[in-house]
Amino acid sequence: MQIFLDIATEAALAAGVVLQDYLGKLEDAISEKGRPGDLVTAADKASEQVILEVLRRHFPQHSILAEESGKLGNQDNDFLWAIDPLDGTTNYAHQYPCFAISIGLLIQGVPKVGVIYDPFHNELFRAAAGLGATRNRRPIQVSQTSELGRSLLVSGFAYDRRETTDNNYAEFCHLTHLTQGVRRGGAAALDLAYVACGRVDGYWERGIAPWDVAAGIILVQEAGGKVTAYDGTPIKIESGRILATNGHLHDSLSQELIKVPRLSSWT
């Protein structure tokens, strides 16, 4: 696990240099991938190539699932690297300082290693099964908040939110009224990292991909938190839905998410 963690760290730090170099210099090198607002930049692609080079050099037999390149290598391998070379591309394109690199390793489908690197603030979040979770090499843990009314939450909105009523607007409004606030950062990996280090007490989202959350799941778990599906059952990373909390709020937040009426029924 330590070797996997160190190699993932090497890849994330190298990709961070790429993102710093491109920041503010993209000009016209930005395009949409299909849905409005789903951006890709030259920085995404360059960052991913650096990560792939590092992982392939050390683990040529491992399979890879990368946001820009898709599935690579033998997908039947027990070791799968889930890579988001630039989580928060829209933020990055606008030079809004909330973006990160996310590299997670799943072993037989279960997240076991995670590295999330925010190059703008130089914050490196790392975790591996049995090794704990750290921020810039120092141990971190989730918050102790135990009441929703005293909590600060974070969430996000999927790219298809304009096309479906199965979006996050209703939950966002509902929980804003029950808590001290709900933030929307625009980078799922950092949302999970912030749960892990106690900056926020809980996070939920729908419409996400495995590369968005693979690293963050093990980070939250190793920091003492809990990660499940909305209803508290074991998470299925391919489902696109996640609930992550400090553990103390998990049941109450799960119950509130389940009972929120669909947006289409609101007046």
124 is in an annotated binding site: no
What is the spatial distance between Cα 170 and Cα 11, in angstroms, rounded to a whole number?
38
Residue identified by tokens 């090794």 is 131
Q: Is 86 annotated as a binding residue?
A: yes
- In 40-187, which ranges are continuous DSSP H helix? 42-58, 89-93, 169-178
DSSP state of 94: T
DSSP state letter for 96: -
* Burial of 80 from C-beta contacts in 10 A (0-12 / 13-18 / 19+): buried
Partnered with residue 244 across adjacent β-strands are 203, 227
> Under 8 Å CB-to-CB from 128, ≥6 apart: which residues?
1, 2, 4, 5, 112, 113, 114, 218, 222
Q: Is 84 annotated as a binding residue?
A: yes
Q: What is the DSSP letter of 73?
A: S
Q: Is 67 annotated as a binding residue?
A: yes
Which of 71, 12, 85, 83 has its CA nearest to residue 42?
85
Within 78-146, where are the H helices? Answer: 89-93
Helices (H), 59-99: 89-93
State the binding site for Mg(2+): 67, 84, 86-87, 212
State the binding site: 67, 84, 86-87, 212
